[in-house]
Amino acid sequence: MAKPAPQEQPIDEEDIDVEFETDEDELDQEGLADEDNYASLLESTDEPEEPELSAIENDADLSLEARPVPRITIHAYCSSPETGVVLQRAASDRRLTKAHVTVHMGGLAAAIGQYKHATTPNLVIVEDHSHHEELFANLLKFAEVCDPATKVMVIGKTNDVGLYRELIKQGVSEYLVSPLTPLQIIASISSIYVDPAAPPIGRSIAFVGAKGGVGSSTIAHHVGWCMSEGLEEDVTLIDLDIPFGTAGLDFNQDATQGIADALTSPERLDDVLLDRLLVKCTDHLSLFASPSVLDRDLDLDTETYESVLEIVRNMVPTVVLDVPHIWTPWTKHVLFTSDEVILTATPDLASLRNVKNIVDLVRAARPNDSPPRLVLNQVGVPKRPEIPEKDFAEATGIEPSLIIPFDAQLFGTAANNGQMVTEVAGNNKIKEGLKKLSFDVSGREPPETKNKGLLSMLGIG
């Protein structure tokens, strides 16, 4: 088979975030602290050395396995500059242009230091050349700062099947032996994320109001925004309120194309079309906006919604669904099949009745999943008699996850300016509450409350 063609396609600078950070001390130890030396090492990436014949054959096989990787965030911590260069080459490969890749030096020690106060991304690649016991001891320390949802790939020096099996058994997704080629790394990442038999990688979080106008969309948009900012991982927000959706307004985006185009031709929806239809709000947040026009009749069946959402879930780690307050087969299906359901209600009788009915139905339809989370919104409107939160808890068996006071100034300013409340001056408790909710629904822990994480994966937690 022919040698894989060299990388020719232009890389979308916006999509790929390759940093190559160096640790002077470490380089010093290896006699590489001299900047010129290091620069020349990096420069050598432009003209790769001719690989040996066996490497070409291996890479030809691997090119079949290496498939485009979805929009995940990957942090790599190398202990040798050679692996750093190979990872950098892998990061600029066309198959990784959707992923956000950062390459650092410093190996496992640097990774442990980094994640003491930060959230771990979707995938962490760590290089450690220690032998068996020391490697496990180092991984144990890493486990203390690693989120359970994060996958870990280890690069070591020891070519030992026993070690490989032991690491896989204890929760590591892949163990590779250096020296490596870029394609080996890409193929391994693909094997973790692009397995056709694996369930979709995207976690879907559906937001719906107990009645109209309760603030469900506002909360969905803020939680999506907080997740993309706080976790620094890709979130796609889908505005399913085709005629009246407000996501475009809330993010100050003028979207002419979006979810309606995908729904009318789901068979055409692939990575390329998805890129065209998505509006990029920030580095990590993209929007599948509703057209918000009234002259377009979209009377689609449940299967159409299902197939479009499935495709998006296969491409992004987190999908936030802004579900309108209507009751149709497809809205029910979206609620029943999402990983999380967030029900927003105001403290009045109609909301209480609807919350109870929706919770009962959703619970019955998905008995093995977590029950919907309840957000009580617009609480404390002056002079308005309100139903207390304990009545909601008694009627539904669910304690509200978040209670948001009525704050016309804060929410009104944000809505009219097309901003998030976190960007507008005002009640910090509300902002903190929304941030906390975003971590809760993402299944991740905020850095300050990190606990054992991967320890449990290693069977020690």
Ligand X SMILES: Nc1ncnc2c1ncn2[C@@H]1O[C@H](COP(=O)(O)OP(=O)(O)OP(=O)(O)O)[C@@H](O)[C@H]1O
Q: Name the DSSP letter for residue 170.
A: T
Decide if 26 contacts 128 (C-beta within 8 A): no
As a whole number of angstroms, the distance between CA 438 and CA 228 comes to 9
Tokens 């308005």 identify what position?
384
Q: Which is nearer to ligand X, 136 or 406 (CB)?
A: 406
Output 86 or 323, the one with its CB closest to ligand X: 323
Among 212, 380, 388, 397, binds ligand X (CB under 6 A): 212
Q: Taking contact as CB under 6 A, which single stretch among the options 153-161, 183-191, 270-278, 399-407 is the one that binds ligand X?
A: 399-407
Pairing label, strands 279-280, 285-288: antiparallel
Q: Tokens 């309606």 correspond to what residue?
A: 260
> Nearest-CB residue to Mg ion?
217
Q: Which stretch binds ligand X (CB under 6 A): 59-67, 120-128, 172-180, 207-215?
A: 207-215
Which region among 69-77, 98-106, 291-299, 405-413 touches ligand X (by CB under 6 A)? 405-413
Query: What is the distance between the alpha carbons of residues 374 and 431, in angstroms, rounded to a whole number?
Result: 17
CA distances from 101 to 18, 36, 149, 374, 405 (A): 5, 25, 18, 36, 39
Nearer to ligand X, 242 or 319 (CB): 242
Contact criterion met (CB below 8 Å) for 262 and 272: no
Stretch near ligand X under the rule CB under 6 A, chosen from 231-239, 313-321, 394-402, 403-411: 403-411
Q: Is 377 in the site for ligand X (CB under 6 A)?
A: yes
Check residue 290 for interaction with ligand X (CB under 6 A). Answer: no
Among 129, 141, 325, 356, binds ligand X (CB under 6 A): 325
**Alpha helices (runs of H) in 6-131, residue ranges in sequence order:** 24-29, 35-43, 53-65, 81-91, 107-115
CB nearer to ligand X: give 405 or 446: 405
Between the alpha carbon of residue 441 and those of residues 122, 195, 218, the distances in Å are 16, 25, 16
Candidates 147-155, 209-217, 329-337, 446-454; binding stretch for ligand X (CB under 6 A): 209-217
Q: Give the residue carrying structure tokens 């892998």.
A: 90
Radius of gyration of the chain from its Cα atoms, rounded to whole angstroms: 24
Q: 182 vs 215, which CB is nearer to ligand X?
A: 215
Residue type present at position 209: G
Which of 63, 102, 217, 354 binds Mg ion (CB under 5 A)? It is: 217
Segment lying near ligand X (by CB under 6 A), choices 16-24, 103-111, 159-167, 408-416:
408-416
Pair type for strands 73-78 and 235-239: unpaired
User: What is the nearest approach in angstroms of ligand X to the Cβ of residue 346?
Assistant: 9
* Residue 204 binding partner per list Mg ion, ligand X, none, with a CB distance cut-off of 5 to 8 Å that depends on partner kind: none
Interface with ligand X, residue 419, by CB under 6 A: no
Contacts of 59 (CB under 8 A, 6+ apart): 3, 4, 51, 181, 183, 184
> CB of residue 325 vs ligand X: minimum separation in angstroms?
4
Give the type of residue at 59: D
Give the one residue of 209, 248, 372, 453 binding ligand X; rule: CB under 6 A: 209
Interaction between residue 3 and ligand X (CB under 6 A): no
Report the residue number, 217 or 351, with the smaller CB distance to Mg ion: 217
Q: Are residues 262 and 231 in contact, defined by beta-carbon separation less than 8 angstroms? A: no
Show the binding pattern over residues 238-277: x = contacts ligand X (CB under 6 A), - = does not: ---x----x-------------------------------
Question: Contacts with ligand X: how many residues (CB under 6 A)?
Answer: 20
Q: Cβ of residue 324: shortest distance to Mg ion, in angstroms?
A: 6
Q: Which of ligand X, Mg ion, none sits in contact with 415, Cβ below 5 to 8 A by type?
A: ligand X
CA distance 319 to 329: 20
Nearest alpha carbon to residue 248 among 282, 219, 276, 288:
288
Rounded to 5°, the CA angle 19-438-104 comes to 15
Nearer CB in complex with Mg ion: 217/396: 217
Give residue 455's identity as a one-letter amino acid code.
L
181 binds ligand X (CB under 6 A): no
Q: Judged by CB under 6 A, which of 189, 214, 237, 352 binds ligand X? A: 214
User: In the bound complex, what is the minimum distance in angstroms from residue 188's beta carbon to Mg ion?
Assistant: 42
> In Å, how far from its chain's centre is CA 352?
33
- Which chain residues interact with ligand X by CB under 6 A? 209, 212-218, 241, 246, 324-325, 377-378, 404, 406-408, 411, 415
- Which chain residues interact with Mg ion by CB under 5 A? 217
